[in-house]
């Protein structure tokens, strides 16, 4: 399979395709992140965090979707098709309505400002879950340097009915990417604390869900090396496709490393797109990449 794929388990062969090549779709970001697919518009939106803008890719053409973007990092769509964004310098989660207006979803917890919301996912009950590490207030590169008001870096849930923000995960040093399993019985959260502390975590944690809103039984699901799981998505079979320092790593639902897609740039985040949600879009610091795989992206990932 050449230098593109690194096989650890034979199961990996059933998840990839040998025909399609790795494509470089665009180069020109300072730090790309936050990929989200808009199938009804056949378009793709992602963030250039230090560039303070959102970019849009349509049929080979790239344009600026929003500038300034308040140093937006993670993006997703809600179940009504609206864009949800994690703003570093805004220190908030926002929703772009269908008419283009902006609604603030969350900007504080217990009367204090959030750190810098990072990544986001929407559950089938319309609740919004997001991570809130302090990366965006630690310097003026990814946001605006500012004092941290929260006592730690946490994961929050926004209630779908009355908008209450609750703290749901508090055992990660730097919670980063997050996603639910296809049946929503497991919440996965990556911890990228190694970026700020020698010997710090660079793994994905798993939590069993009790009811709609309570993650329990925290444990390490998989270590990611080299690099870290900055962002990840699940396919409909429950396999985890995660960013890493050498490209993309694929883990089985049981946590086994099946193989790697080797990309000539470390990957910061990824998502599924295309007509059948089988095209893997990958953001690197400077470039946007894509490859077709033999799996279908999960809606709630």
What are the per-10-residue average pLDDT scores of the chain (301 residues)?
A: 87 96 98 96 96 96 98 97 98 97 98 98 97 98 98 98 97 98 97 96 98 96 97 98 98 98 98 96 98 90 51
Q: How far apart are CA 122 and CA 212, in angstroms?
A: 12
Confidence at residue 1, expressed as pLDDT on a 0 to 100 scale: 47
Are 227 and 217 in contact, with CB atoms under 8 Å apart?
Answer: no
Structure tokens at 37: 């697919």
Of 216, 217, 241, give the one whose Cα is nearest residue 229: 241
Q: How far apart are CA 195 and CA 155, in angstroms?
A: 18
Q: How far apart are CA 220 and CA 255, in angstroms?
A: 9
- The DSSP line for 57-83 is EETTEEEEEESS-SSEEEEEE-TTS-E
Of 179, 181, 222, give the one whose Cα is nearest residue 202: 222
Are 266 and 244 in contact, with CB atoms under 8 Å apart?
Answer: yes
Q: Where are the beta strands (DSSP E) in 8-148?
A: 23-27, 32-38, 43-48, 53-58, 61-66, 72-77, 83-87, 92-96, 102-106, 108-109, 112-113, 120-122, 128-132
Confidence at residue 300, expressed as pLDDT on a 0 to 100 scale: 58
Q: How far apart are CA 57 and CA 26, in angstroms?
A: 9
Confidence at residue 2, expressed as pLDDT on a 0 to 100 scale: 58
Confidence at residue 128, expressed as pLDDT on a 0 to 100 scale: 98
Q: Which residues pair with 58 in a beta bridge?
A: 61
Confidence at residue 122, expressed as pLDDT on a 0 to 100 scale: 98
């Amino acid at each position: 399979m050449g230098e593109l794929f690194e096989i650890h388990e034979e199961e990996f062969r059933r998840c990839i395709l040998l025909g399609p090549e790795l494509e470089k779709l665009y180069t020109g970001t300072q730090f790309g992140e936050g990929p989200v697919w808009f199938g009804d518009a056949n378009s793709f939106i992602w963030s250039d965090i230090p560039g303070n803008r959102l970019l849009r890719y349509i049929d080979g053409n790239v344009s600026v979707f929003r500038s300034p973007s308040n140093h937006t990092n993670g993006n997703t769509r809600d179940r009504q098709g609206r864009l949800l964004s994690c703003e570093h310098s805004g220190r908030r989660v926002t929703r772009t309505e269908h008419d283009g207006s902006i609604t603030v979803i969350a900007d504080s917890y217990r009367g204090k400002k959030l750190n810098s919301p990072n990544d986001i996912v929407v559950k089938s009950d319309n609740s919004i879950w997001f991570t809130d590490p302090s990366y965006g207030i630690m310097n003026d590169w990814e946001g605006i340097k500012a004092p941290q008001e929260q006592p730690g870096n946490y994961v929050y849930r926004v209630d779908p009915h009355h908008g209450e923000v609750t703290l749901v995960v508090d055992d990660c040093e730097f919670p980063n990417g997050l996603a639910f399993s296809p049946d929503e019985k497991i919440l996965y959260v990556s911890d990228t604390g190694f970026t700020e502390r020698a010997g710090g975590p660079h793994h994905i944690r798993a939590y069993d869900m009790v009811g709609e809103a309570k993650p329990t039984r925290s444990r390490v699901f998989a270590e990611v090396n080299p690099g870290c799981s900055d962002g990840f998505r699940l396919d409909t079979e429950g396999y985890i496709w995660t960013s890493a320092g050498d490209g993309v790593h694929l883990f089985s639902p049981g946590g086994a490393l099946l193989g790697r897609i080797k990309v000539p740039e470390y990957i910061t985040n990824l998502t599924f797109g295309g007509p059948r949600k089988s095209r893997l879009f990958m953001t690197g610091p400077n470039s946007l990449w894509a490859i077709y795989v033999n799996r279908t992206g999960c809606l709630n990932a």
